[in-house]
Amino acid sequence: MSKKIDKLTPEQEKMIPVYIKRYSDPVFDGTYYKNFDAAKAEKMIEWVYKFCDYKVPPVIVVDNPVQAQLVFNALKNDPKMLKNIDKLKSSVGKMTPDKYLEKEIGKNVMGNLKSIESKYKEVNDQYLFACDVYSNVIIGFYSYLIEVLELDAEIVPLFKEWKALYMDSCIYNGIFADEVCIISKYPHTIKRNEENQLHCLTGPAVEFDGWEGYYINGRHIPTNIYLKALNGDLTRNEFVEEENEEYRAAYFEILGSEKLMEMLGAEIVDETDHTHDNGEVEHLVLYMTKDVVPGIDEKLAWVKFICPSTSTNYMISVEPKWTSALEAAASTSPLIMDADDYKFDYRA
């Protein structure tokens, strides 16, 4: 007999964060990484393929999703490699992606592809949500419905069967194809900020075996950009010539204002707290080089904003004519005529 729930009880509401924590903690605290079991993972894959009424292919286990992309593309370029699948399975997990490709394939697969991004695009249609890190969202949501709200539906037994297999498998994600399935393990370390965004200013925010990712307040930063600032290799000219505001913001976050201003030979010209119409207070700082920059024949100036949604510091270039941080900030928007118009009702 069906029942309708119009409103959650206080006890039911209290269980929501409990279920969020129960099914997200294993992702972030390394539990899934530590508990990975290849045999149990293959049972999960077998279940998925049979459920979809497909023949179960050989399964290759890799350490990280980038390695999975590389191996999958290598197999697409040379399908004959599948004839030696046992050799492939025994060696791929023990080597980093570049060494694996160099030894097992004998040709520069990466040279045939423009970038890691192109590899991702090639295999996007091969993913199944039923066996992915985001499966934890579905598991937590439906477990709450079934166990707390006592949902009764025909799908419940099937859901429980799938849930048990996924929780045992500890698969981060998989690339599913007719001839092969490549599954990746979870990362062993994940670092986040107070908003639960991937974030670290002293190194990688995500670490898999064999691959690491750099993030600042949830925004991915290319490794070379991040390490250039972290290792102290960033030059004044590189910062001045950088056109990507995300990368410039990353330089600012990693170096800190004091080191960055010292490198640029800049100083604070003006700073102020500006209150918008929505009540939000924005701290604005105007920086300017002390001397004229050779080759440009004028001073350089930047105004620092703090993004209200990510707390990321942005250094936006402005004309050196400004002496007011507020006026300089207003000048960065094509929709604002002067400082009096720099008043937002809301900001994204």
Domain limits for position 310:
265-341
> In terms of domains, do 166 and 219 share one?
no
- Give the domain-ending residue among 186, 215, 249: 186
Q: Are residues 215 and 82 in the same domain?
A: no
Give backbone dihedrals phi and psi of 294, rounded to 5 degrees, phi first: -60, 140
More confident residue, 15 or 85: 15
Please give the structure tokens belonging to residue 333: 């928007």
The reply to whether 2 falls in a domain is no
Range of weakest confidence among 9-18, 79-88, 157-166:
79-88
Q: Is residue 237 part of a domain?
A: no
Let me know whether 221 and 307 are in one domain.
Answer: no
Instruction: Find, among 66, 28, 23, the residue nearest to 192 by Cα.
Output: 28
E-assigned strand segments in the chain: 59-62, 173-176, 181-184, 189-190, 206-208, 211-213, 215-216, 219-220, 266-275, 281-289, 301-306, 313-318
- Mean pLDDT over 170-182 rounds to 90
Identify the domain boundary among 123, 151, 186.
186
DSSP 3-state of 277: coil
Within this chain, do residues 152 and 277 fall inside the same structural domain, yes or no? no
Of 229, 254, 284, which one is at a domain's C-terminal end? 229
Q: Is the pLDDT of residue 123 over 70?
A: no
Q: Is residue 42 located within the same domain as residue 141? A: yes
pLDDT in tens, 42-90: 999 999 999 989 999 888 888 888 888 878 877 777 777 777 666 666 5
Structural tokens at position 275: 């209150």
pLDDT of 196 over the 80 cut: yes
CB neighbours (10 Å) of residue 86?
Answer: 9
What is the reported pLDDT for 114? Answer: 33
The whole-angstrom distance between residue 8's C-alpha and the CA centroid of its chain comes to 33
The mean per-residue pLDDT over the stretch 84-106 comes to: 54
Judge if 195 and 79 occupy the same domain: no
Q: Which pLDDT score is estimated for 50?
A: 92
Residue whose C-alpha is closest to residue 286's, from 268, 300, 272: 268
The share of the chain scoring above pLDDT 70, in percent, equals: 82
CA 61 – CA 89 distance, rounded (Å): 7
Asked if residue 20 belongs to a domain, the reply is: yes
Q: Are residues 278 and 222 in the same domain?
A: no
CB of 332 closer than 8 Å to CB of 316: yes
277 and 315 share a domain? yes
Of 239, 237, 191, which is closest to residue 216 (Cα–Cα)? Answer: 191
pTM over 0.75: no
- pLDDT reported for residue 188: 96
Rg (CA), the chain: 26
CA dihedral 86, 91, 92, 95 (to 10 degrees): 180
For residues 141 and 282, membership in a common domain is answered with no
For position 87, what pLDDT does the model report? 64
* Residue 47 covered by a domain: yes
Instruction: Note whether residue 127 is domain-resident.
Output: yes
Residue 235 within any structural domain of the chain: no
Lowest mean pLDDT among 5-9, 73-77, 103-107, 331-335: 103-107
Asked whether residue 176 is domain-assigned, the answer is yes
Q: Count structural domains, the chain.
A: 3
Assess whether 165 and 69 both reside in one domain.
yes
The separation between CA 344 and the C-alpha centre of its own chain, rounded to angstroms, equals: 29
Shared-domain flag, residues 180 and 195: no
How far apart are alpha carbons 63 and 186 in whole angstroms? 8
Is 31 in contact with 175 (CB distance < 8 Å)? no
| DSSP annotation of 262 | H
- For residue 310, what are the CA distances in angstroms to 194, 213, 245? 10, 18, 14
Whether residue 155 sits in one domain with residue 25: yes
Token pair 């003006």 is at which residue? Answer: 270
| Contact of 303 with 332, CB cutoff 8 Å | yes
Does residue 247 fall inside a structural domain? Answer: no
Per-residue burial over 149-180, b if 16 or more Cβ lie within 10 Å, else e, is eebeeeeeeebeebbebbbbbbbbbbbbbeeb
Q: What is the C-alpha separation between 75 and 39, in angstroms, rounded?
A: 23
Cβ–Cβ under 8 Å, residues 207 and 215: no
